[in-house]
Amino acid sequence: MTSTVAGVETVRRAATRFPGFDGLRAIAALAVAATHAAFISGFNVRSSTWGPYTARLDIGVAVFFVISGFLLYRPFVLARFGQAPAPAPRAYFRRRLLRIYPAFWLALTAVILIPQLHGLSWQRPSWTSLLAHYSLTHIYFRTHVLGPLQQSWTLATEISFYAFLPVYAWVMRHTGHQARRSLTTELAGVVILYSSSVAFRVWLFFGVAPRLNGMYNTWLPARFDLFAVGMFLAVVSAWWATTRTDGGPSWLTNPALPWISWALSALAFWYLSVGFGLDDPRNRGPVPTFSHAQQMWLQLFWGVVGFFLVAPAVFGRQDHGLIRRFLTHRTMAWIGLVSYGVYLWHEAVIDLYLRLTEPVAFNSSFSRMTAFMVASTAVLAAVSYYALERPVLRLKDRPDRRSRAR
């Protein structure tokens, strides 16, 4: 009886919230917002010193995918290792849909209806386009991949991952029932996902579909590797949490480990920015000229940067170290709290800035545009979170009618 209680308590401790992830969301959202401001203002091309780095701050998308892979898969794999109930499908999908759609619908509707938020290349969407975008299925239609809310392609990819994950977890749960075999099959599954993504992009870039690169490259198979990085972190952390009372090897608590991890992340970011030709001004302007080989290297290093950036928030003592204190600082935590709104609204705010100041696109002040974007987006993101997202999210843990009937 005592051992059973101890096992349950181990699982309970392992399932606790990871406080540094709000800070990671803040970094990811601000990176995406900054790269769009640098791109639209023309700073990416004008600055030979900083432009190569601001152009690659789209790494924030990869960080979001790594975060999703970790946080969403960990409950499934933790249940498998700890013999706890797996997430209920009905509750899982309710939480995911409530998290994504209401705030997205608000931002999309505002961008469509308010002329000042239209992009300079605005075209009125058709009814077919509206249906595709409101349902976040637009990435499957060649003429609708980008639209009124251009960054929404990443949300469509996320939705695909949400749908895929419970099916994948069910398959994994029915393979390798012994403890060690469970770990082996979980790791093998992650490797297969990662490898299949690389193979898909090789086919995409060098095979029979180069003309559809823009559409297919937004599909989940093209991004599996980034989610798989987070899923790998989930598998390892869940295994250590359910098999070791100390939560993992002792070297994870070394104070130098977070610094080493972030140094490796920074080194990888530096290399992807300048190491294989992406610093060429032609690759920082309105129409990048990436070769297919450069695209392959770019996404490889996206995963490396994301892995080492996220790792300190997963492993080790979460209440120790300057890096973890930075991630959990109240400012970073608040930005992370409203980061979805930042992600949704920042590009519309940039379009508003262009219309209010009437500068020439790709020849504007990066500093003034960024200041306006940060201030305005913070307000809109806060309104979105406190007036809509938080009230809606309270519904995600509401028991369904079947549970109440029982």
- How many Cα atoms within 13 Å fall on the side-chain side of residue 344? 26
Smallest CA-to-CA distance from 335 within 397, 280, 299, 377 is with 377
Give the pLDDT band of residue 62 (cuts 50, 70, 90).
very high
With a CB cutoff of 8 Å and minimum separation 6, the contacts of 218 are 139, 145, 153, 154, 156, 157
For 44, phi and psi rounded to 5 degrees?
A: -55, -40
CA 393 from centroid of its chain's CA atoms: 19
What pTM, to 2 d.p., does this model score? 0.91
Q: Distance (Å, rounded) from C-alpha 195 to C-alpha 193?
A: 6
Could you read off the pLDDT of 71-121 as tens digits, one per residue? Answer: 999 999 998 887 667 889 899 999 999 999 999 999 999 999 988 887 666
Could you read off the pLDDT of 311-341 as tens digits, one per residue? Answer: 999 998 887 889 999 999 999 999 999 999 9
Structure-token match 């262009």, residue found: 354
Q: Distance (Å, rounded) from C-alpha 104 to C-alpha 126?
A: 19
| 233 within 8 A of 198, measured Cβ to Cβ | no
Could you read off the pLDDT of 18-45 as tens digits, one per residue? Answer: 899 999 999 999 999 999 999 999 999 9
Q: What is the mean pLDDT of residues 290-310?
A: 92
Q: 363 - beta bridge partners?
A: 360
- What separation in angstroms does the CA of 302 have from each of 1, 155, 170, 306? 47, 18, 28, 6
User: Does the structure show a pLDDT above 60 at 1?
Assistant: no
What is the C-alpha end-to-end distance of the chain, expressed in Å?
Answer: 29
